[in-house]
Structure 1
Amino acid sequence: MSMFGDLFEEEEESTTNATTNSITQGKEKVCEPPPPRGKLKLIGIRNQGSTCYLNSLLQTLLHTPEFREELFSLGPEELGKLEDKDKPDAKVRVIPLELQNLFARLLLLDEQTTTTTALTESFGWTNSEEMAQQDVQELNRILFSALESSLIGMSGSSLIQRLYHGTLTNSIICSECHNVSERQEDFLDLTVCVRGVSSLEEALWSMFVEEEVFQGNNLYRCSHCDRLVKATKSAKLRKLPPFLTVSLLRFSFDLVKCERFKETRRYSFPLSINLRPFCVQSDQPDSELCYELYSVIIHKGGCYGGHYHAYIKDIDQLGHWELPEDDMKQKKQKVQMKTVNVSVCDSAVEKDDPVSLLTAVLAQESGSVLLDQLGQKLMEKIGCSWNKKYRKQHGPIKKFLQSNPDVFVLLGNGSRVALRNQAETPEPKSVADRVQDELEAGSDSGLEVEPMNGQWFDLNDSTVTAIRESDIMKQYEGKESAYMLFYRKHTLQRAPHAVGNPAFGVPAHLLQMVQEENDKLQQRRSEFEISSNSIDVRLHFASHYCVENGALKLIDKDKDTVTLSIDRRRTVGDLRRAVYQIQDAWKGDLALTIAKNLPAGLHLYDMLTDDQQSLSSAGVYNCSDLFVWNGTEVNGVCVQSGAECEPLLLNILRPGGAELDSVGVVGDQSVGEASEPDASGLVHVMQGFSGGATLGGVREALSLPEALVCQQAKGVGPGGEGGGASRWKVCSPEAMRRTLRELTLRDGDTLLLLPHSHLNNSVFSVSEDVVTVMTPSDCRWLQVEFHTHTTHEEEKEKKVMKIPAAGSTLLSQVKQRALEEMQLQEHFTGGVCCLRERDRTGKFLPPVCEDLSVRDAGIKLMTSLWLCPGHSPNASQLFLFFSVVPPTGPELEIIVEQTITVKEVLFDGNVAEGWTHW
């Protein structure tokens, strides 16, 4: 094993284990069952981690019908039962039983993949280290040895011996007395050299035909002559098994460089082979000595790691072979190319390229064209002859055609010409007819629909792919090349009723076991389908709502929505009937409209009108909101609907004492609760407006018809935020006539309404179209707090200090002055501390960037900041909160560069330490 080292470690997996999806419908989590068998009808084996070598060998054994049926012929009366394996006196042959179960599942289980966990546990492989110890060639010997040991004393004890074991004879002939010394050897597989030979036949020839001569210093001691003599040594195959396994020695050791290497040079092997030249003389017919290839185990990679998969011939036609995807694309491209040739023929004339011109002319013909006719057809196309236009530069037309063999081919002793990729047809058809025929037939003369010599598949762990027999030749050489060959005796015949019948030979108890598993799978799929299609919709009834400021508002907040569960495949009519059953007292028309909760309130969008339409196609999804009403009005008020009328929730600022009512009521409309005046004397009111309303309409609705309407100047926070002075841009008369949507206002945006009576005082000043709002000098401060805690998080010490600050004050200056006045310079190790805000729940927000001013950081004056340990981010960094699942404690914090990727964050040493489940 030391020579193979890490050969069995996989460099890369061709597939990954399918992840289990789940669907949560707000009720319970339903795991997605594994999908059913694919259209190819064969299933793969999940990789447990470096078990691709095992999967490849098991698939080969499964598709060896005689081995499979011999194994199935061993019943529980001989092998015992798996449920009794832990009983002290029970004799249970676990390995063959688990192999039977695996084969039954591979044949009949309605899944795309299955697992070998139970089988590998029967080997005693319980961790990845043990599973990674075997090479597929060595595994073949170990597995067969384990099976032989398990079947001792049973009817199947000679199973491996009969199917796979052969004998060869080594002979030495004395050149003096011609005495023959023979010794027979048993073999399970033939190990053949790859280095120095180019094919399997050449390797067998050197092993079983060529003779080794003992002469010179290398003489042979003849027991009959009793002295050293010249002799010849040879070997022959004496007894051939039904199944011949050939192991290729791809890996060698360089004694000069003292390192392993893989032979990647071309090494061919036949699809069928006659072994008579390599056998002892016998009167057996050739049919008994002919073998056909039915499996190739392939190794991809180098001698320090790689991946195994198998090309297998489906002898019993258990799978459904169809044109490989690459060939399907190639076929479509060929048909499309012929269609294009018809349409581009005229454009080729313009190119003045003789190759393009002749190709276009020949593409319009049904097959080959007489050489003398080609010149005539060319003249009809371009208006002059070849000799006149091209002979001087390109020579005679025949010579030109011969100089382009990749495009043109001469037939009939050079009297006819055709395109290289164009097949001749016995009965000429027009190009249009031929293209149409190919499109309708879905086939191409050069691409067969199904192989005639057997169906081949690539079984690559979980993935199964149909391949062509010609694909085997691609594995003659390279980093991905054949590693083991399996041949089957030509005379072995299959019973007619075994073809296409995966249940053939499977014992009744295994059929029942798989059927029960399939029934459970089908039940899980049905439950998952119901669960995955079940949606909850929230019904909002019109009687509980009123129209207010362009949005629908609940009259009584105690009357919440009604949740209705329904299958999303049901129709709108089914939903309407279900709603009628809930509201049995409803009279008149019942309209259902998709709604959405916006910050300003509930808003309506599309009405569901087609009762035959499914809910999913109508845009009704899980947790959708539906408004139930008469379709025209709500409590006598018409309702605007659609995205263009979406209401916006705006923050309205006005000077305290303006004509607006102190509790925020304009006329009969409630506009929300007004806040206490801020440092600049501004009152905040949250108000909803229709997105189709104009700015002028907003001003009228607020009963301030003469006030200036101002928007925040770009880059400056709303009044009172950012400290110091804030600037506002006065909206022009043109802007006052535009709608809120046209002005691209969004929820939470702020408008300042400034009556003329407040202009040019100590707080508000106007210069051209800019209003400046000043903060009074006695309000220019920030409160900095510092708390220390014991180990039990009890507050031990608290310090509070008001630090003078203006909008232009740097936060680093605020921190430094707080540290000095609170005498905390020695409290923080190395002076590492930061300033942080808190939200309403008391949670610390990200540290503020100390390179910014109070205004630029968006810090309100007359608010509190907390001194905390830790770094503050600079202008090029981000502060992130993150947590892990399952939670291991409070949220974690990290500062990263803005240019870093998420992957780099996850695998950062500080983040990933002790955590391996990203």
Structure 2
Amino acid sequence: NEPVESEEETAKKIDLLRTILLSHDDWFTIDDLLKTYRENTTVPWSRTRNSNGAFTKFLRNHPEIFHVDDKRVRLVEQMDVDQTEVADMDYESSQLEKPETNDDDNEHWFCFDDSTVTCVTQQHIQRHYGLSDCAYMLFYRLKTPRKKNESSMDCSDTVYSIPQWLIDEVSEKNKVLEEKREVYDKYQNQLPVTIYPGEWFEVIDGCRLNLNNANQMLFPDPYGEHMFDKRTKTNEFISIIKTLYGDDTDFFTSKKLRSGQLHIISRLINVDDDLTLDKNDLSTYRNLIVFKHPSTLPDTVIQGEEFEPIMLNIVYGFPDAHIHASRLQNTRHVSKNTTLAELKEVLFRDYYQYEDQQVLRQVRMGKLNLEEKNNRKLRREYKIDEEKQTLAQLNLHDGDTLG
């Protein structure tokens, strides 16, 4: 059994055979057609056998394309070409002035395939491409060789020239495509940035920002969301926003946390190179806080992605916890690069108001699951080795509960 060909393979074979037959006005022997086919492709006719019989069978299996008798073949479409179609082949270019020469003798058309160039007729072009939505045509034109005293070629006596209507049409389509590309690029490079006024923030624990805009439901003008272009250079961007907020301002790129708070990543400053916004922290975090200069932001406020705080709920499991409850913080914002051992030491000191390493070593911490199962709260106790890991390494997130 012969392996089954794909539709694409069959279509390629038919296309090449049509091209070969179109270069001949009359019948073509099956032997010569097979020979010409082999000369114009590196793909063997059959993967299992290379017989004339299989080739003839293939032709007979497509009677709508190939008309086959005992030893000859021709295209069905060659037998019923409407001669009026040939006369209309030139379309609008027929209106152009033509040299007083025999057109049939001076026009030659070729089909360029991936590996072959085949002579074709005007009928083939009209039949093959007439109903296509899109087709590529390669035009060649003969130019008079440049003379020594001429700076450029004289194309006024060009025998074959591209019709002006076609040049105009291509130019117009290219113009439309260019406009669409410009709109698309602009859309693709949009960078929405939310700009916050520094007055909305207060410093908590001397080191972190707290968004406190309960009385401000709407952004005052000119704050809020603005749209910028990622391709804008950082220095140019700083100049733009300084015109909005004044020269005596500092800008801080910030990350919005799951808790709704903002954490400062870095200060936006002028750079020496041509760094664009798409390579800036702002492209990632898309939040900007504006502080008036001299900055009302204390130097003690922790900045940087590695110091991003995690909001944790703290539960004290000591028997006397109710005694200390009034002075303990049940919600803590802790940098994600803090180790569990460091956090445990801070919580122990806050609880007992003194340090005792011996007692501290006996304290264990765990992650609580507040969903009750069989009336018991589930927890996962951390091992001593795990206390060396950071909160980020332990996959702790905003809203998690530690006890």
CA contact (8 A) 1:712 1:718 kept: no
Give the CA deviation at 1:583: 1.5
Tell me the percent identity: 18
Q: Deviations over 1:5-36 (max 9, x none)?
A: x989325xxxxxxxxxxxxxxxxxxxxxxxxx
CA-based RMSD of the aligned residues comes to 5.3
Instruction: Work out the number of aligned pairs and report it.
Output: 295
- Secondary structure in 1 matching 2:209: strand
Aligned AA (1:555): N
User: Is residue 9 from structure 1 mapped to residue 13 from structure 2 by the alignment?
Assistant: no
Q: Structure 1 unaligned runs (5+)?
A: 1-5, 12-49, 57-134, 145-163, 167-186, 204-247, 261-291, 297-308, 316-461, 465-492, 672-684, 753-918
CA contact (8 A) 1:593 1:608 kept: yes
| d(CA) in 1 for partners of 2:17, 2:390 | 79
Aligned AA (2:15): V
Give the CA deviation at 1:517: 1.0
Pick the aligned partner of 1:723 from 374, 381, 394: 374
Partner of 2:66: none
CA contact (8 A) 1:689 1:698 kept: no
Q: Deviations over 1:413-444 (max 9, x none)?
A: xxxxxxxxxxxxxxxxxxxxxxxxxxxxxxxx
User: Is residue 659 from structure 1 mapped to residue 293 from structure 2 by the alignment?
Assistant: no
Pick the aligned partner of 2:347 from 674, 684, 699: 699
TM-score (norm 2): 0.55
Partner of 2:265: 605
User: Is residue 688 from structure 1 mapped to residue 347 from structure 2 by the alignment?
Assistant: no
Aligned AA (1:641): Q
Higher helix share: 2
Give the CA deviation at 1:742: 7.2
CA contact (8 A) 2:17 2:37 kept: no
CA contact (8 A) 2:250 2:268 kept: yes
User: Is residue 535 from structure 1 mapped to residue 339 from structure 2 by the alignment?
Assistant: no
Pick the aligned partner of 1:640 from 302, 309, 313: 302
Partner of 2:241: 579
- Secondary structure in 2 matching 1:193: helix
Evaluate the alpha carbon distance shift between residue 599 and residue 139 of structure 1 in structure 2; reply closer, same or farther with a 3 A threshold: same
Aligned AA (1:618): N
CA contact (8 A) 1:649 1:747 kept: yes
Evaluate the alpha carbon distance shift between residue 201 and residue 506 of structure 1 in structure 2; reply closer, same or farther with a 3 A threshold: closer
Partner of 2:57: 253
Evaluate the alpha carbon distance shift between residue 622 and residue 533 of structure 1 in structure 2; reply closer, same or farther with a 3 A threshold: farther
Give the CA deviation at 1:495: 2.2
Q: Deviations over 1:156-213 (max 9, x none)?
A: xxxxxxxx665xxxxxxxxxxxxxxxxxxxx1x6344169x8x55999xxxxxxxxxx
Give the CA deviation at 1:593: 3.0
User: Is residue 495 from structure 1 mapped to residue 142 from structure 2 by the alignment?
Assistant: yes
Matches within 5 A, 1:370-409: none
Evaluate the alpha carbon distance shift between residue 691 and residue 141 of structure 1 in structure 2; reply closer, same or farther with a 3 A threshold: closer
CA contact (8 A) 2:263 2:308 kept: yes
| d(CA) in 2 for partners of 1:744, 1:605 | 20
| d(CA) in 2 for partners of 1:517, 1:582 | 40
User: Is residue 514 from structure 1 mapped to residue 161 from structure 2 by the alignment?
Assistant: no
CA contact (8 A) 1:709 1:731 kept: no
Aligned AA (1:609): I
User: Is residue 595 from structure 1 mapped to residue 254 from structure 2 by the alignment?
Assistant: yes
CA contact (8 A) 1:535 1:565 kept: yes
Task: Point out the structure with max Rg over C-alpha.
Answer: 1
Evaluate the alpha carbon distance shift between residue 599 and residue 530 of structure 1 in structure 2; reply closer, same or farther with a 3 A threshold: closer
| d(CA) in 1 for partners of 2:182, 2:255 | 32
| d(CA) in 2 for partners of 1:738, 1:201 | 71
Give the CA deviation at 1:747: 3.3
| d(CA) in 1 for partners of 2:382, 2:282 | 43
TM-score (norm 1): 0.27
| d(CA) in 2 for partners of 1:620, 1:751 | 33
Aligned AA (2:402): L
Evaluate the alpha carbon distance shift between residue 534 and residue 742 of structure 1 in structure 2; reply closer, same or farther with a 3 A threshold: closer
| d(CA) in 2 for partners of 1:705, 1:738 | 25
Give the CA deviation at 1:643: 2.7
Q: Structure 2 unaligned runs (5+)?
A: 40-51, 63-107, 120-133, 147-152, 355-359
Q: Deviations over 1:310-362 (max 9, x none)?
A: 424499xxxxxxxxxxxxxxxxxxxxxxxxxxxxxxxxxxxxxxxxxxxxxxx
Matches within 5 A, 1:127-206: 135-136=14-15, 166=25, 187=26, 190-193=28-31, 199=35
Aligned AA (1:689): V
| d(CA) in 1 for partners of 2:310, 2:316 | 18
Aligned AA (1:649): M
**More deviation in 521-530 or 635-644?**
635-644
- Secondary structure in 1 matching 2:240: helix
CA contact (8 A) 1:652 1:686 kept: yes
Q: Deviations over 1:521-550 (max 9, x none)?
A: 111122222222232222233222112355
CA contact (8 A) 2:252 2:264 kept: yes
| d(CA) in 2 for partners of 1:532, 1:503 | 46
| d(CA) in 2 for partners of 1:750, 1:647 | 15
Higher strand share: 1
Q: Deviations over 1:358-417 (max 9, x none)?
A: xxxxxxxxxxxxxxxxxxxxxxxxxxxxxxxxxxxxxxxxxxxxxxxxxxxxxxxxxxxx
CA contact (8 A) 1:710 1:751 kept: no
Aligned AA (1:598): L
| d(CA) in 1 for partners of 2:38, 2:242 | 84
Give the CA deviation at 1:698: 4.1
CA contact (8 A) 2:253 2:285 kept: no
| d(CA) in 1 for partners of 2:36, 2:17 | 20
Aligned AA (1:516): E
Pick the aligned partner of 1:554 from 207, 211, 232: 211
CA contact (8 A) 1:615 1:621 kept: yes
| d(CA) in 2 for partners of 1:532, 1:654 | 50
